[in-house]
Amino acid sequence: MNFRTRVALAGLPALFAFMFVAWPLVAILKRGFVIDGSLDLGAIVDIFGSDRSRSLVTFTVVQAAVSTLATLIIGLPAAWSTSRPWWGASLVRSFMTTAFVLPTLVMALAFSTIFDRGLLPIVLSHAAFNVAVVVRIVGNAWAGIEPGTGDAARTLGASRFFAWRTVTLARLAPAIASSAILTFLFSLTSFGVVLVLGDYRQGTIETEIYRLSRTLQFDKAGALAVVQLFVVGAALSLSRRFSRNPVVDLTTVQTRQRAVGVVVPGLAALMGMCLVAIPLGTLACQVFFRRGQWTLNWWRALTSDELPLGVDPLASLGTSFHYAIAATFVAVVIGGATAFALAKASRGLRLLDGLLMLPLGVSAVTLGYGYLITFDEAPLRLRDFYYVVPLAHAAVAVPIVVWVLTPAIRGVAPGLREAAATLGATRAKVFWNIELSLVAPSLGVAAGFAAAISIGEFGATALLGRSGTATAPFAIGRLLSVPGETARLAAFGLALSLALSTTLLMLVIDKLTTLGIR
Amino acid sequence: MSALEVLDVSVMRGDTRACKNVNLTVGNGETLALLGPSGSGKTSLLRAIAGIEPICGGSIKFDDIDLAGMDVARRGFGVMFQDLALFPNLDVAGNIGYPLRVRNVDKDQARATVSRLLEDVGLVGMEHRSVGELSGGERQRVALARALASDPRLLLLDEPLGSLDRLLRERLAVDLRRSLSSSGLASIVVTHDHDEAFLLADTVVLMREGSVVQQGTPADVWRAPADEWVSDFIGNPSATTVERCDGELLTPWGPVTSPGADRTVRLSVPPSAVTLDPDGEWSARVCAVRPNRDYLKIEVEGTDRAVLAVSSDEPVAVGTMVRLRVRVERLVLFDI
């Protein structure tokens, strides 16, 4: 593909990035800094003036830091275990990846069946999500280290520890830093988990933006959103010192490590697996198994007329799937065009990449808030548009789609294109017959991830959703906010259905991965 | 006196014995080549000597001290690995200087040592290149320099010219030979290439399926391969079955004197054993003429279509009959 084609291809993503990422974010900044047409830092200063806000920001950062530490402690052994050749390696990888895309509310509910509200369950569920990040990034890096280099260091006189530190650890360090940065960002901007598991008095910036927006205090919410943007920005720029742009390679690399049997890798991965399996198992037990016997009460609760007005769990599941399809379509088109345009890096296009990757760091709640204030007035009164929720989902899913597709596209041997061209194929034909068909399995994988993200997305949905456009996570949120056993059981049942859908999606993805690429 | 003694050593690899009761010795300043096809156990033996693999029988001694239980790091053997095992996170100087860093050598002194080694292997000024961007030959040289930088008592080289193209191999082989002899170290070179083994080594040890089948100087091995397998492996033409009768071998190309009892033997005729000569005792028909770098390779066939190669300076037409002179002492004979 020549430069011009790539620029043309980048047009649609650029428009999307401008409309649904850049503009809302600029609107937030404008709202925070400009009051009545002139620069006014009052709202921001007020935030740092108030004890409540200061403790909010502190708690947000501290819980993210502790979560990152916990994720590394649990994730590094698991990453090591997946870097070794044994039958469980791919199982651990798939299992943790499924946990990664599990709806946040599901994970939060699962942990709520074991723990009371507080810092511990927040940290543990953040770890349960992000162990996958460590497993993927560090595990792949570990798998790629030739065991011969360790032997070489030893023959050159290095002690076991010195060899490990200078050869293995030195090469893992960038990967560990990348995964720590991503985990920190994800924990910093986590919403559903904190909403369900956090202490009532102690929220994070995210939950506070949500609370303020819901109570129509848009100015205060705006100021906090600006603070959130700055915290995230500071974390990102700090991270640049330690590592390149963190990228999760979702393909699996062939390991070069020597086999060490099954027992030790199994034990190393056990903690991470249990962290996910035990809470989910407890949740399932609470739904299906009551007072020592199997029960269908959860199903009755889902269709019960005792539920709060305007909450229809089954209809919300339908809406979720409907939105998932729409969001997946948009994300794959936008992310696909981006990945193809960016297959070879060039400066202008990299800016687009950076813009589209922003939703990874910027929280979904902030994005949702941006949509609320941006698309508030004619001619773009999109807040009432039925598909505004899936558009936000797509914005969140695009980075993952790009992650999945980029290595696959780069992996297409350039020789193939040239070979096809010498056989008389036109450029369009080469693209259609060779590149697209080779990348097709990865497109499937990307679509699966996009769908999973849309199904589980709660941050933007919580702000943008209304009864008419309630997704399943939105309905769970509503159900949790009212008292009563039926509502609670319905929420659990709905959560399990979501978990099941996501797991099915991941199984399909797994099949696709083994079918196609590498 | 021998520096390294390998006595009756066996090495396990998985569930099979990769080396069976191997004996060999290498003296200071001597180079020994372990020659054999892949899977013959030569790499396993090398790794066992280095201390990376454990041995399951026998003993390895260096300067009369048994190495059993001695840590890899304390053996002081420089190893050049088959895949080179350069550290990708370090640059050229970082790789070569690694053993100096391990020993806490003073920084300036280490820098001087590294640049001297770079000079020795012909990579002057490449200190800060990343090892990823080096060519195959350059990587090979860095690996050698790194092995030498640890100031080893013994050099162990696993396929040191491994994956290089032929031209580069030949050039580097000469350089390597010079490095080995100027270092004055005992060294072992593992290779599957007989030309390389004969070029580099003072002693060649041929291994097959974990056992030593022959050891001796290159000249000995050339002159008298221990058996037909060795003969085939070092590149002699495949043997034919011939009868010996009244002190004469009855070959497909004619008879030749060969003292010994009457019996059936196998005969391989290396190209160096025959020359074109109008007064020669054998006769055969030319069936192919192939140009080589500085001579022509003439293939002739005798009875039973048994083909034999001769080198010649003059072109010969295909189909003509030629006579061959035989140098009896160069014929390779095996009992059945």
CA-CA distance, A173 to A180, in Å (whole number)?
10
Query: Is A159 in Cβ contact with B73 (below 8 Å)?
Result: yes
Q: How high is the mean pLDDT of chain A? A: 85
CA-CA distance, A86 to A94, in Å (whole number)?
14
Q: Which residues of B touch A148 (CB under 8 A)?
A: 81, 83, 85
Q: Where are the domains of chain A?
A: 3-24+52-282+305-516
C-alpha dist (Å) from residue B188 to B4, B50, B198: 10, 11, 13
CA-CA distance, A470 to A287, in Å (whole number)?
23
Closest CA to B224 of B40, B203, B215: B215
Q: Could you tell me the sign of the dihedral formed by the alpha carbons of A54, A55, A56, A57, in that order?
A: positive
Considering only residues 294 to 353 of chain A, which have any Cβ-Cβ distance to chain B shorter than 8 Å?
A: none
> Shortest CB distance from B87 goes to which of A149, A154, A162?
A149
Q: Which residues of B touch A167 (CB under 8 A)?
A: 87, 89
Residue A395 has a pLDDT of 92
**ipTM exceeding 0.95, yes/no:** no
Q: How confident is the model at residue A517 (pLDDT cuts 50, 70, 90)?
A: very low
What is the least distance, in Å, from the CA of A404 to any CA of chain B?
Answer: 26
Considering only residues 134 to 163 of chain A, which have any Cβ-Cβ distance to chain B shorter than 8 Å?
A: 146, 148-149, 151-159, 162
SS (H, E, C) chain B: CEEEEEEEEEEEECCEEEEEEEEEEEECCCEEEEECCCCCCHHHHHHHHHCCCCCCEEEEEECCEECCCCCHHHHCEEEECCCCCCCCCCEHHHHHCHHHHHCCCCHHHHHHHHHHHHHHCCCCCCCCCEHHHCCHHHHHHHHHHHHHHCCCCEEEEECCCCCCCHHHHHHHHHHHHHHHHHHCCEEEEEECCHHHHHHHCCEEEEEECCEEEEEECHHHHHHCCCCHHHHHHCCCCCCEEEEEECCEEEECCEEEECCCCCEEEEEECCHHHEEECCCCCEEEEEEEEEECCCCEEEEEECHHHCEEEEEECCCCCCCCEEEEEECHHHCEEEEC
Query: Is B102 in Cβ contact with A162 (below 8 Å)?
Result: yes
- Interface residue B81 vs chain A (CB under 8 A): yes
Q: Which residues of A touch B95 (CB under 8 A)?
A: none
In this model, does residue A510 exceed pLDDT 80?
no
Task: Give B135-144 pLDDT, tens digit per residue.
Answer: 888 999 999 9
CA-CA distance, A393 to A398, in Å (whole number)?
9
CA-CA distance, B93 to B125, in Å (whole number)?
10
CATH class given for the domain over A3-24+52-282+305-516: mainly alpha
Residue B165 has a pLDDT of 77
Q: How confident is the model at residue B295 (pLDDT cuts 50, 70, 90)?
A: confident
Task: Give A406-446 pLDDT, tens digit per residue.
Answer: 878 877 777 777 787 777 777 777 777 777 888 888 888 88
Considering only residues 103 to 132 of chain B, which have any Cβ-Cβ distance to chain A shorter than 8 Å?
A: 103
Q: How high is the mean pLDDT of chain B? A: 89
| Residue A417, Cβ density class (10 Å: 0-12 exposed, 13-18 middle, ≥19 buried) | middle
Give mean pLDDT, residues A113-138: 93
In this model, does residue A345 exceed pLDDT 70?
no
Q: Which residues contact B77 (CB under 8 A, 6 or more apart)?
A: A155, B49, B50, B51, B152, B153, B154, B155, B156
- The pLDDT > 90 percentage for chain A reads 31
- Interface residue A384 vs chain B (CB under 8 A): no
Which one has a higher pLDDT value, A256 or A187?
A187
Query: Is A157 in Cβ contact with B86 (below 8 Å)?
Result: no
Give mean pLDDT, residues A249-254: 66
Residue of B nearest to A165 (CA): B102
Give mean pLDDT, residues A99-116: 92
Q: How confident is the model at residue A49 (pLDDT cuts 50, 70, 90)?
A: confident
- The pLDDT > 70 percentage for chain A reads 92
| Residue B316, Cβ density class (10 Å: 0-12 exposed, 13-18 middle, ≥19 buried) | middle
CA-CA distance, B205 to B215, in Å (whole number)?
4
Residue B152 has a pLDDT of 92
Establish how many alpha carbons lie within 13 A of residue B247's alpha carbon, considering only the half-sphere containing its beta carbon.
2
> Shortest CB distance from B85 goes to which of A146, A159, A166?
A146
Give mean pLDDT, residues A276-293: 86
Q: Which residues of A touch B72 (CB under 8 A)?
A: 151, 154-155
Residue B39 has a pLDDT of 87
- Interface residue B162 vs chain A (CB under 8 A): no
> Shortest CB distance from A156 goes to which of B52, B83, B146?
B146
Give mean pLDDT, residues B182-202: 90
Phi-psi region of B260 (alpha: psi -120 to 50; beta: other; left: phi over 0): left
Task: Give B12-40 pLDDT, tens digit per residue.
Answer: 988 888 999 999 999 988 999 999 998 89
CA-CA distance, A36 to A265, in Å (whole number)?
61
Tell me which of B81, B87, B96 to substitute to probe the interface with A (most A C-beta atoms closer than 10 Å): B87
Q: How confident is the model at residue A254 (pLDDT cuts 50, 70, 90)?
A: confident
Q: Are A312 and A303 in contact (CB under 8 A)?
A: no
Q: Which residues of B touch A155 (CB under 8 A)?
A: 50-52, 72-73, 75, 77-79, 150
Q: Which residues of B touch A162 (CB under 8 A)?
A: 102
Least confident of A368-382, A458-472, B124-138: A368-382
Q: 3-state class of A102 per DSSP?
A: coil
Segments in A289-346 forming alpha helices (H): 297-302, 313-341
- Interface residue B85 vs chain A (CB under 8 A): yes
Residue B247 has a pLDDT of 85
Query: Is A152 in Cβ contact with B79 (below 8 Å)?
Result: yes
Closest CA to A155 of B8, B75, B87, B42: B75
Considering only residues 16 to 55 of chain B, which have any Cβ-Cβ distance to chain A shorter than 8 Å?
A: 50-52
Give mean pLDDT, residues A2-26: 83
**Separation of first and last alpha carbons in chain B:** 38
Residue B34 has a pLDDT of 95
Q: How confident is the model at residue B190 (pLDDT cuts 50, 70, 90)?
A: very high
Give mean pLDDT, residues A201-222: 85
Residue B115 has a pLDDT of 93
What is the least distance, in Å, from the CA of B134 to any CA of chain A?
Answer: 17
Does the pTM surpass 0.80? The reply is: yes
Give mean pLDDT, residues A211-235: 84
Query: Is B99 in Cβ contact with A157 (below 8 Å)?
Result: yes
Q: What is the DSSP-derived secondary structure letter of residue A157? A: T
What pairs with residue A130 in β-bridges? none
> Shortest CB distance from B150 goes to which of A151, A156, A162?
A156
Q: How confident is the model at residue A212 (pLDDT cuts 50, 70, 90)?
A: confident
